[in-house]
Amino acid sequence: MFWICFALVVLCDQGIKYVIGANMQLGQSLPLIKGLVDITYVLNKGAAFSILQGQRWIFIITTLAVLVAILWFMRSVSKNDKLLRAALALFCGGALGNFIDRLRVGAVTDFIDFHFFPIFNIADSCIVIGAALLGWCLLIRSKAQVVKEGIDVRAD
């Protein structure tokens, strides 16, 4: 399941970015749902919210390190832990999607434009959803551990 989810994220992300890059001019905007969301083709040389502009090699090295660490960690994750595996697949797929952009284009292709929020892409969404699910998994496990061990967490 991990590898299927991972591959689907990368293929969807890269496929949509390819279609946008091949059919739109940089900076061009097309309404998707009038008044709510547009497809706006931009290149982001930074990270989320365009921070650290032009630091391409930092992002490439960091992404490689994170992907290697997560794939190493995956060896210890039970095949039955579907939610954790899905969270990691979404996160890794999104990270690899943006990594491919940085290698291929030198910047990340962004296109989902809600006008009140920075423009983002499918990979960004998968990274955020994967991180949120990972946080949820950790929260559930820490609460279960507290209950299992009978640890008293009340303030004195």
Enumerate the active-site residues.
Answer: 110, 124
**DSSP assignment, residue 32?**
E
Helices 82-104, 122-149: crossing angle, 10 deg rounding: 150
Measured CA to CA, the distance from residue 99 to residue 65 in angstroms comes to 12
Measured CA to CA, the distance from residue 39 to residue 32 in angstroms comes to 6
Residue 84: exposure state from Cβ atoms within 10 A (0-12, 13-18, ≥19): buried
